[in-house]
Structure 1
C-alpha cells in the first residue's frame, strides 16, 4: 500500500511536491525533533512535517507515526477525528501507538472512543502494558462504563499487572466513582502491596459513597500519610456537608500545599460559606502561598456571591501584576464576578479583551446582561456569538429567556423558546419551561402561564409552580395563588419562601385569618423563616445586616441615620407601603417594621461611610420588597447617589429617582 496516494486527505503541499536530497536525507530523529517543537502549536507546521514523514518513508516507523497521532490528538487543535484517520493508516500499530490514541481520546473528552480503541488493540494482538490501563480505567470512569471497567480489571489480572500501584490506584478510583466500594477494597487488598496513593484513592471512594466513618478509620490507621491523604479527607468531608470537621482537619495539617488551601476554599464555597472562603484565602495570602488559576477562580465565585467587589478587583490586579494570562476559565470567572458585583461595565471590558472565549464565557456575559435588565443587549450578544461560530447550549437559551422574562419581552421570549429544537437542536428542559411560565406570569398572562404548565412533557417542578405563585402575588390573583400555594406547600413543606409568598397574597387581600393559618401550619411543621440578610462591601470588608440585629459596631449611628433618612424621604412625599407587612397590627407598627429592613440598614451604613456621590452596592439574599424599592428610588434622588441592589431575582440600578427595572421585576 502506498502511504502517499491512498490517504483520504491531501497533505503533500507544493513545498513537498517533488522529492529532493533534503527530504530523502532527513533522519527519524530530525522528524521527531520537528514534531516535538512547533508542531504542538501550529497545525500547518504539523501537516508539513506529516507530509515529509510520508515522502521519506518514516511514517512506517511507529515512533514517528505515534508521535504524529499524539500531535494531532492534542486538545489544543480539537482535531481528534483527524488523529483517528491518521491512526487508521499506521501499519500494524504497536502498544506505543495504541496507548497514544487511547490517551488522546480521553484528553478530548471521548472516553467511549478510548474504550473502542482498546477493543481494537485486543483484536490486533498488541499486548497492553502498564501505561495502558491507568488511562483505560479513567476512560471507563468518565464514560460511566461500569461493566467494561470490571472487564478491564479482569484483563489487568490476566496480564499480571495488578501489582502496579499506578494501575491499582486508577482502578480503585474507578470503582469508587461507581460507588462499588467492595470492588475497590478488593483491589486495594489484593496482595498487600498498595502504597499511599492507593489508600488515598480508597478513602476518596468511601467519602464519595458517604461512608464517612469507614473513611476516617482507614485514614487514621494509615502509617504513611502524606499531604494528599489530608487533602482527600478535607475535600471529602466538606463535600459530605461536614464543613466544621473538615476545617478541624485542615487546621491539624502540619504541611499544606496549594491543593490543601483550594480544598478548604472549595468546600466553603460549595456549602455556601462565602465569607469563610474569603477568610481562608486571606490567611493563604498571609502565608505567602502563591495561588494558581483554579484557586483564584474559586475565590472569584465567592466574591461574586458576596458582592465583594474590592476583593475581586484585587484578584484581577494580582493576575495582571504577575503576568498571568486570562484563560477562558479565569476570564469567565472575572466576567461573572464583575457582573454579580454590579459592575457590568467592567465585566464587559474583561469579556471584550479576552482572546480565547468558550461558550460558557458568552453565557456568563449574556446572563449578566439579563440580570441587569439589559435584555436587548443580551439578545444582540446571543446572535453575535452565533455569527462567530459558537453554538448556543441549554444554558445560553436559559440566560436569554430569563433576560426576556425580567424585561417583559414576551413575544421575543416565546419566539426564541419555540425555535429551540428546530433552530438550535436543543430540547427544552424543566428550567426553560420555568422561564416561559415566569415570562408570561410577570407580564400578567396568568392563564397562558398555567396553560404552558399543563402542556409540559414532564411534571412541573416546585420551581415552576413557584414562578406562577410569584406572578399571582405580583398581580393579586388570590384565587389562583391560593390553589398554586397549596400545591407548593405539599411539594416543598419545608420551604419557608412558599409560605411567605402565600401569606403575602392573603395579607394584601386582607385575609388575616388565612395568614394566621399559614403561620400556624409553619409552626406545626417546624418550618423556620429565612432571615433577610443584606451585605455591603466597604474597604475590602463585607458588612452584614439583619433586621433586629444590633451587633454591628456602628449600629447606633446607623439607626440615627435611618431615622433622619426616613424623615427626609417623607418630606419628599414618601409613604411606607404597609401592605408588605404580614401581620395584622396597627399602621404605625407596620411602618416601624418596614423601616428596619436589612437593605435599609445597609444603605444607611453606606451613606455614613462613603463620600458624597459614591455608588452604593448592596447584595440581599431574598427578594427586595416593594416598599424598599420605592424608598431607594427616592433616596437616589434626594441624596444624589447611584444605588445598585442585587436581590435574589435580579439587579436594580437606582439613579435620579428611577430604577433600571422600570418597576417590572
Structure 2
C-alpha cells in the first residue's frame, strides 16, 4: 500500500507513524479519523499501528474514534472479525454509533448471532437504539430463524416510535416473510405510514416466496408507485413458482428493463427445462443491444450446454474475454461444463487449466465432462490431481468418477472407488452411487452380480436402481429378469413412459408381440404418452429441431431427398437395418422406413445438406440412440469423411472413420 504525508501530523514520514513518534498534542480527533479512514482500509499493519497511537493518546475513549476503529477491524478484507469483537468488548459503555457499526459488521461476516448479542449488551447499558439499529437486527433474525427475538425487536420499534421508518419497515417485512408469517408482514406494511416502494416490493417478494401468487398479483396491481425492482420481483417470483409464461407476459409489458429482468426470464425458462425459449430470450437481448452482465452469463452458458449450442457458447466466451471479465469459479465452471456438454473437450480442458481458483464444482464439471465422453482414465487422473490440490471431493464427485468407470467397463476400479468413499473420505454412499454401481455391473454384462449387489444394499432400492438393471437386461438380452424388473418398475412409476418403452423393447426383441400389445394397452388405459424422440443440431448459431413425422421444417423436402441419398450410399457399403429395435409387429419394409425416419438421422441429413465437406457435425438427442442409428452414424462418418459428435441421454459418441469412441459399449 502506497502512503503519502497527506493528513499526517507534521514531522511524520509516510509509513512511519507509530505511538512513539506522534506527540499527543499534535493528534486531534480529526487527524486520528483521517488516519483510520484513509490509511488503514487495506493494511492490517497500518491499522494496528493506528490502534497503538489511539491507545497512547487516549482517543480510545472517544466513541467516534473507537467506533471507527471497530469498523476498520470489521472490514471483510481482513477476514478476521474476532479482532473487531475484542476491540468492541474493551470500549467503555459503547454508544449507539459504536453498536450499530458492530451490528453491520456481524452481518458482513455472516455472524448474525453476534448481532443479537450486541443488542443484548445495548439494552443492559441503556444505550438508546436508533433507526439504523433495527434493519440489521431484523436481517439477523431472518438469517438465524429467531422468531421470538424478531417479534421482540418489532415491539421495541413500536415503543420507540420508529414504526414509520421505511428502512425498518422493509427489513421487518422481509423478516416476517422469511418466517412464513406473511400475515404479520402484511400488517406491518398496512399499519401507519412510511410504506414506500421498497416495503411493497418486500411484501410481494414474501408472498411469492411461499407461493401466494394471487395475493402478490393483487398487491402488485394496486401499488401506488412501481419501480423496475417491483416488476423484477414479480417476474422472478412467478418464474420461481413455475409460472414462466405468466412471468414472460409481465416481462413483455415492462417499459424499461434492466439486466435483472432479462436474467429472471432466462433463469425461469431454465428451471422449467425450456432451453430453446431461454435461448430465444438471449437472441432478443442481442437484438435489443443489451450487454449481458457477468452474473447472467453462467445461466446463458447452461442454456448452451443443454442445447449443445457450441457457437453461442463460444460467443459468450469471447464476450467474457473482450470485456475483461474475471473468470471466477462460477463462470469458469459454467464454461467448462458448456464446452464439455457441447462436445469440445479440448476447450473444456483449456478453460479448466487456466482457472486461477477452482472450487469443488469446477473439478466435478471436468470429471463429469470426461466421464460422459468415455474418457475414464483421464477422469480418474483429474480426480487424483484434485486430491493433490487439497480439494475435498463430495458426493457429486464420486457420481462422476463411478459413471466414468461404468462407461469404460472398469468394474474393479469402480468398486474400489465405492469402498474408498466412506473408508478414506468419510462420505456415506447414497442411492445415486449405488445406481452407478448397478450400471457398472450391468454394462459389463455382469447381470447376476448386479442383482446380488441390489440384494445386499443397506437401503431399499428405488426406481433408478431397478431402471439401471432393466437397461442392462435389454442390452444383454436377459428377457426373464428384464420382464420381472420391468413390471416392478411399472408398479413403482406408473406414469413414467420410459419404463414402458424399455419393457416393450425387451419383448419386441424377443418377438413376444402379444406382450408388447399388453404393455401398450396398459399405457393407453393409464393415459401414458410416450416422449417423442427429438434431435437438435446447431447450425450457424441457430438451433434446428427434428422429430419423427414432423414436417414443419421449411427445408423438409430437400432434407428427405438428402436422407434417401444418404441411406442408399449406406446400403451400397453393406448397411443392413437393425429392425429388432422397432417395437411394432409390422412388415419388414415398414420397419426399415420407420428406422430411416428417426430424428437423429433426419438431423444428420440436414447437417450434410447445409455444411461444407469436412465440417464437424454436432447433434443432441433427448433419448438414448438406438443400435441401428449408431451403426448408421459410424458408416456415415467413414463414407462422407465427417467427424460426428452425438450426445444422447446417456453419453457422448464421437464418430470418426467408421468407429465410435464408445467402442459400441454404451
TM-score between the two structures when normalised by the length of structure 1: 0.89
Q: Which residue of 2 aligns with 1:264?
A: 265
- Tell me, yes or no, if structure 1 residue 46 matches structure 2 residue 47: no
* Per-residue deviation, 1:49: 2.5
Matches within 5 A, 1:215-614: 215-614=216-615
Deviation at 1:450, TM superposition (A): 3.8
- C-alpha distance in structure 2 between counterparts of 1:546 and 1:414, whole Å: 40
2:197 counterpart of 1:199: no
Distance 1:420 1:76 in 2: 36
Cα drift, residue 440 of structure 1: 2.8
Rounded Cα–Cα distance in structure 2 between residues aligned with 1:115 and 1:151:
12
Cα distance change of structure 1 residues 300 and 175 upon mapping to structure 2, 3 Å threshold = same
> Residue 395 of structure 1: CA displacement?
2.3
Contact 1:168 1:188 in 2 (8 A): yes
Q: Please give the per-residue CA displacement for 1:414-468, whole angstroms capped at 9, x wherever unaligned.
A: 2222222343233333323332332233233334434444454544333333223
The alignment partner of 2:535 has SS state of strand
Distance 1:567 1:507 in 2: 27
Shift of 1:513: 1.6
In the TM superposition, what is the alpha-carbon distance from 1:257 to its structure 2 partner? Answer: 1.8
1:11 matched residue in structure 2: none
SS in 2 for 1:246: helix
Residue-by-residue CA offset, 1:572-601 (whole Å, 9 max, x unaligned): 222222221111112221111111111111
1:455-508 CA-to-partner distances (Å, cap 9, x unmatched) read 545443333332232222222233332232223222322211111112112222
Larger radius of gyration: 2
Q: Is the 8 A contact 2:36 2:50 kept in 1?
A: no
Quick one: structure 1 residues 28 and 642, their matched pair in 2 at CA, closer, same or farther if it must change by over 3 Å? farther
Q: Is the 8 A contact 2:18 2:49 kept in 1?
A: no
Partner of 1:655: 656
Quick check: 2:421–2:427 contact (8 Å CA) kept in 1? yes
Q: Give per-residue Cα distances to partners, 1:369-421, cap 9 Å, x unaligned.
A: 22211222222222222222322223223222222222222222222222223
1:419 alignment partner, SS class: helix
User: In 2, are the aligned partners of 1:372 and 1:650 still within 8 Å (CA)?
Assistant: yes
Note if contact 1:26-1:56 (Cα within 8 Å) is conserved in structure 2: no
Sort the Cα spacing of 1:103 and 1:477 in 2 relative to 1 into closer, same or farther, 3 A.
farther
Q: Tell me the CA shift for residue 616 of structure 1.
A: 0.6
With over 3 angstroms needed to count, the CA separation of the structure-2 counterparts of 1:488 and 1:180, relative to structure 1, is farther
CA contact (8 A) 1:16 1:52 kept: no
Secondary structure of the corresponding residue to residue 198 of structure 1 = helix
Distance 1:393 1:88 in 2: 39
Residues 130-155 of structure 1: CA distance to partner in whole angstroms, max 9, x if unpaired?
Answer: 33433333343344444554444444
In structure 1, the residue matched to 2:21 is 21
Change (3 A) 1:449 1:173: farther
Provide the C-alpha distance between the structure 2 equivalents of 1:656 and 1:68, rounded to a whole number of angstroms. Answer: 71
The CA deviation at 1:255 is 2.2
CA distance in structure 2 between the aligned counterparts of 1:573 and 1:450, rounded to whole angstroms: 39
**SS of residue in 1 equivalent to 2:260:** helix
Distance 1:152 1:335, change over 3 A: farther
Change in Cα spacing, 1:633 to 1:489, as seen in structure 2 (3 Å) is: same
Q: Which whole-Å CA distance do the structure 2 matches of 1:490 and 1:23 have between them?
A: 86
Identify unmatched segments of 5+ residues in structure 1. Answer: 1-14
Structure 1 partner of 2:7? none
Q: Distance in 1 between matches of 2:249 and 2:490?
A: 38
Q: CA, structure 1 residues 421+171, in 2 after alignment: closer, same or farther (shift >3 Å)?
A: farther
Query: Secondary structure at the residue paired with 1:551?
Result: coil
What is the aligned partner in structure 1 of residue 167 from structure 2? Answer: 166
- How far apart are residue 542 of structure 1 and its match? 0.6
Change (3 A) 1:590 1:210: same
- Distance in 2 separating the partners of 1:186 and 1:218: 13
The root-mean-square deviation of aligned C-alpha atoms, in Å, is 2.9
> How many Å separate the matches in 2 of 1:78 and 1:425?
29
Return the alpha-carbon distance in structure 1 between the equivalents of residues 493 and 48 of structure 2. 62
Asked if 2 retains the 8 angstrom alpha-carbon contact of 1:378 and 1:403, the reply is yes
Cα gap change, 1:562/1:206 in structure 2, threshold over 3 Å: closer, same or farther?
same
- Give the Cα separation in 1 of the matches to 2:433 and 2:655: 29
Query: Do the aligned residues in 2 keep the contact of 1:23 with 1:56 (CA within 8 Å)?
Result: no
Task: Note if contact 2:18-2:50 (Cα within 8 Å) is conserved in structure 1.
Answer: no
Number of equivalent positions: 648
Counterpart secondary structure, 1:21: coil
Shift of the 456–78 alpha-carbon distance from structure 1 to 2, 3 Å rule, reads farther
User: Are 2:409 and 2:440, in contact at CA under 8 Å, matched by a contact in 1?
Assistant: yes
Cα distance in 1 for partners of 2:215, 2:341 equals 41
Residue of structure 1 equivalent to 2:176 = 175
- CA drift of 1:354 comes to 1.9
Distance in 1, matches of 2:157 and 2:382, equals 51
1:309/1:537 contact within 8 Å kept? yes
Per the alignment, in what secondary structure is the counterpart of residue 210 of structure 1? coil
Partner of 2:139: 138
- Displacement after TM superposition at 1:523 (Å): 1.0
1:185 matched residue in structure 2: 186
8 A contact 1:23–1:55 mirrored in 2 = no
Structure 1 CA distance for aligned equivalents of residues 38 and 662 of structure 2: 55
Q: 1:182 to 1:330 in 2, by over 3 A?
A: same
Report which stretch shifted further, 616-625 or 431-440. Answer: 431-440
CA pair 340-18 structure 1, distance change in 2 beyond 3 A: same
Which is further off, 618-627 or 564-573? Answer: 564-573
Cα distance in structure 2, aligned partners of 1:658 and 1:390: 37
C-alpha deviations, 1:213-251, integer Å up to 9, x for none? Answer: 222111111221222222122222222222222222111
Q: Is the 8 A contact 2:47 2:72 kept in 1?
A: no
Q: Deviations over 1:507-528 (max 9, x none)?
A: 2222222211111111111111
Residues in 2 aligned to 1:429 and 1:27: alpha-carbon distance in whole angstroms: 64
State the 1:360 CA deviation: 1.9
The secondary structure found in structure 1 opposite 2:662 is: coil
Does residue 645 (structure 1) correspond to residue 663 (structure 2)? The answer is no
Work out whether residues 31 and 49 of structure 1, in 8 Å CA contact, stay in contact via their aligned partners in 2.
no
Q: What's the CA shift for 1:158?
A: 4.3
The 8 Å contact of residues 620 and 645 in structure 1, kept in 2 or not, is answered as: yes
Cα distance change of structure 1 residues 512 and 285 upon mapping to structure 2, 3 Å threshold? same
